[in-house]
Structure 1
Amino acid sequence: MVATTAHLLAIPLALAALVLRQPSTRASAQQPPLPRPAAVALRGCRDKCGNITVPYPFGIGDGCYRNDGTPGFSLECNETWSPPLLTVAYPYGIQRLARFNLEAGEARAYVSTTRTCYNSTGGQINSTGSSNYMQLMNSHHRFSNAKNSLVSLGCPVLGYFVDGNGYYVSGCMSPGQGDPIFNADFTACRYVFLVETDWLTTTYSDRAYSNRSGDFAVPLVLDWAVRNVGNCTAGRRNATDFACRSTLSECANSSNGPGYRCSCKGGYEGNPYLDGGCIDIDECQRRDQYPCFGVCTNTPGSYTCQCPPGTSGDASRQNGCRPKDKFTLALRVVTGVSAGVFLLGFTCFWLYLGFQKRKLIRAKQKFFEQNGGVLLQQQMRSYDRAGAGAAGFKIFSKEELQKATNGFAADRVLGRGGHGIVYKGVLEDRRVVAIKKSKMMEEAETREFAREMLILSQINHRNVVKLLGCCLEVEVPMLVYEFVSNGTLYHYIHDKDSNADISLNTRLRIAAESAEALAYMHSSASPPILHGDVKTANILLDDKLTAKVSDFGTSKLAPNDEAEIATLVQGTWGYLDPEYLMTCLLTDKSDVYSFGVVLLELLTRKKALYFEGLEEDRSLVSCFITAVKAGRMEELLDIQVRNEISACDILQEIVDLVMQCVSISGEERPPMKEVAERLVRLRRYQKHPWTQDDGNPEETQGLLLVSEQRNGHLQSGHQQHAFNIEDGTRYFTL
């Protein structure tokens, strides 16, 4: 091809067309490229742009490329890009060059696709057809007829190309909705582009590209040649300008347009466009390309391969050389010794396998005991004898969990976090479970693991993910939980693909259920359990959107005295209790603070740490307190919540509850049980406001009593300070 222009044109039935000007010549498929030679550029010139090798006759900078009056060999390397951007130095629309092949005379380029988008009524919105233009006229480059394909993408769309005189050559199309045969759906944007066939068959995915609406670039193959003269014969007439400079080079006429290409002769490699550029290949060092199973001798441009002395046959084949004599005594001895060596090696191999198996068994037993497996088994038997039972808790083997997760396959991964990876598994009894494979565990945690596992297994609350068992015969124990099907609360409220509105009643219900689960762990579990990492990513939703608190990766049993409570700070930024950060003392009020952040996320649909505003406003808690102080709390709420708030007193009660939960002082925060009760009352009041004529003023009074008491306490002159943990500045004062 000598030149192309790309357009998407509106034609009847809203079809689109690509027009490519191309001569009617045909090209045969090129041979596979040979390995890239080592020396490629003129002395003193750059041979790299980033990780792209630039071979002469191409070059970067004056005097570094072949300048025969025909453009295309002069290149530019823009190192302000990362990685550096390599382009042709003239404005012919070659946006990026990625690879050269001297032997095949090919280059790989990237160009933007041609696009036109339409609205629902068929009107054109925008188009990039007129801006994507690649002009190869009178240059060294041609589009490869053998290695490129024409693609029309979208529905309905028609892509076609024409020759240099504008006559139709070929094209492809897909019909639109309403077609009686295909009945396909419309797509908003339609594309047409020329693309490398290999890329199309190995990289392109219909699903990934069918609904695209933005611009993107695709690779295509360019055939290049020396084209200032028509063929080799014309080139040799001017020895000074003849491009094949190496004395060991050959010239071949271009198969795609006028011109010629150079290559090293057989047995030589390098750059034929450079003086002395073709060097001898040592075939004896490349047995994979030039097999020789005898005596190999390198010669200029070739090599010899002969059978060793005393043998004859074909040395280029394995076992092709055989002794000239028949089966001799020496050969029998060698055969016998070889068989003995083989049997000895086979025996050693089986002994080694047995040793490794015993070593693996010992390692499993070591980990099992180290992780408290013996103690856990004893405690489970004690519970069974006492009639308490272990609530279906089971100690799994490593093989059981490997089988359940198909060898911990990547397609079974449910999520990754700071503490490990969670896999989806199917047990032998067909139960679907979630298996957490932790990254590490401290020695102190290992000593307490067995006791904590048995206590956590007995948590029986509908809003807490059930712990079903564990695996102890690995270095870091694996936990097995019940499977919750609807993902995390974090994705439910922040997923960009989810545009569905979430009613205030649903938000309050999820918050109340989560609060009840935490209250149960704080108040009803024996001993009490502190979660330590409450966040929306650790609250799961089932198929009915019922909340289930999960991930006890940082959970702690409440200590018997304060001396035991100091711990290394763990958790997630944005949710961490400031008091916990300063004192390293994890308390039940630390969970209350984190839950306050979760409640804010539910009401605002903003992340705990987000980057939409100024740097000092990146903490959701700091934004909330600033908004309350300025009387602009409603602006921070999600629009769906603002539309559903039925009364100002409900908004004030919610604000008061959140303010108390995120108080800088743990003593000022309400217990989790009180938070859950107030959320239940708030939800009931939102669904059935008692401010109507037949309302119940006593219940209304009861609902708001806690808020009024709290407000009265704050208005009595008591001051409270909070600090921005991220930058260490004070951000709120009452």
Structure 2
Amino acid sequence: MILSFTIFHIIVLILSPRLASAHGDVNIAQYGCNSTCGTVSVPFPFGMNEPHCYAHKWFEIECKFDNNTSSDVPKPYLKSLNLEVIHFYPYSSKVEIMNPIYRSNCQKNKISINNRKTVNLRDSPYIFSQAENTFLAVGCNNLAFLQSNGTTVGGCVSICDDDNNNGNNYNFTSDGCNGRYCCETSLPSHLSEFNATLRGLREQSSDGCGYALIVRHYLVRFDILNELKNREHAPAVLEWEILNDMLINSTFQLPPNCYNSKVTSLSNRTTGQQCRCSSGFYSDYLYEIYGNPYLGGCPVPEQDFYRNNRWKKWVIVGISSSLGSIGFLIGLWFLYKAMKRRMIKKRREKFFKRNGGLLLQKRMSAGEVNVDRTILFTLKDLKKATDNFNKDRILGKGGQGTVYKGMLVDGKIVAVKKFKVEGKVEEFINEFVILSQINNRNVVRLLGCCLETEIPLLVYEFIPNGNLFEYLHDQNEDIPMTWDMRLRIACEVAGAIFYLHSVASQPIYHRDVKSTNILLDEKYRAKLADFGASRIISIEATHLTTMVQGTFGYLDPEYFYTSQFTEKSDVYSFGVVLAELLTGKKPISSVTRSEDSKNLASYFVQCIEENILFDIIDKRVIEGGEKEHIISVANLAYRCLEINGRKRPTMKEVTLELEGIRGFNKKLNAQQNNEEIEFSGIEQYQPWDGFSASNSLSIISSQTHSTD
């Protein structure tokens, strides 16, 4: 019994570093300083009361009661700015505060927007986080302006239907903020001062109550929007750094895991320092367990822990063997493994919630996600499939993440997309929800997802032959891009976009149609991909008001100037893809074209209007296609590239017209291959003026009938 008790103490001593860190026996504040205010933990360099408890007066926290509420729990405030703090994030050097809401023409509290105090962070170590926040405005027929230092730095427009305008009440739907009742736009970089101005679209005033604010972007949901009318403040995120001049004559010394930073710099020079831990051990939610990076506390890398303690395990085995207590040690070992599995399970549950698992489950229960067609993969399965996300398995990288090639245990080849998001998962959830509802052979198929990792993962069918951009602009002599192949790909992509706009249960705007997002399968059939920027809209909606995003060269100029994305914006982007297919030229080029013709869309339109279309058509197209068919497709692209969106055709019209041209092309090829009918084309080139796809098809049709 004594021997067993001794062995137990040896094991406890060996495992104690791990167990201690797991139970949070660490300091997050300076020695002898209070580390909590009410229910909020206050980590250094922030602190309260004594000067040695905080790094500088900018980081001084005042713990006080809110006079506007009856709560008996005090709240922390940044004393120098008088802003309430909700949460501190020392690992990423951010702090979440309650930001004031600017109001105009609101009868409930009659707060005038011109009398509100400007939020001013100048000369402080803080700025508003561009990545975490958005500028939001709510109201009917309002122009909202975000201003800084007397200059307008952003803005958006919110509109209302007269029949649905209910005065000061806006009943937001699950669509969130899409320009109806509210609008939003991104913040400029290094924003340290702001106020807001609301102005009515009409000359006299705006309609009803309006308000504007800077808020965390993931809070722009219908349930939160409906609460804002009764609130005076909303959560926003500030980034911060330890300014260099704060360390002059200071007794505080930064630990070795700190590095130079440029958070508040407008000239890209070092202005301060931030402290973080090694890559892979970043956790703003676990600093109370692992320690505060500003006090040198960082989690021990798991592999180092086991490497450094491997010899201890063998000591335990030797001692237990010699003392006949192997069974006891095995029992303890299984207990330790069970504890470890439990910790891993809890960590995965935390990741599941943080990666939008609860929001996804809510949408599943609401019928927004087709559960029967999607699978929840485990991290273990996907690590095995991608050889632990080996860099040799990378298929491509984009703005939203990295795509890896993988093979599942059943031998199926898949593509695994790892998103570049940390805590903001709207793009991931958006793409998952949209793709789970789409069933079209020319749209890449979603197989499932994995939410139990720090970064969420999506699993797609594997498309083996790369994307259209590579085949058009890096010509493959073994598999040339013939006219027939280009025409077929154009028809398939147009059909896929037509499906999204008009056939899907709810209209879907893709918002990033381009040749790099058109993949080619083993039979070189087109597959439309990358739905991270796509949006589902209500059937009665005519447009979507968002901050402008997209790819230059494909971006609808009307959307760029108005921030209103319509189905005709996808039509414009498809028109650029048609121009690429016809000319073989890149959408933006600074090498092969002159200064006036860097943009393919404008260059293509110019060549058509100057009647020199065939000067820019790809020689493979001229060699393989009939002149009338080429002119018909070019005319269709020309109409898709109209500056005025209302003059562009719909994707249904585009699809039908392309299918018609392709049908004539197939019939002509069959006649030529079988040598049954001698087909003679138009002897003289038709001038562009007055020429359209419809009359070109009628010419071809009449000629074909005349030969029968």
> TM-score under structure 2 normalisation?
0.45
> For the pair shown, which has the larger CA radius of gyration, 1 or 2?
1
Higher helix share: 2
Q: Which has the higher contact order (CA 8 A, sep 6+)?
A: 2
Instruction: Tell me the TM-score normalised to structure 1 length.
Output: 0.44
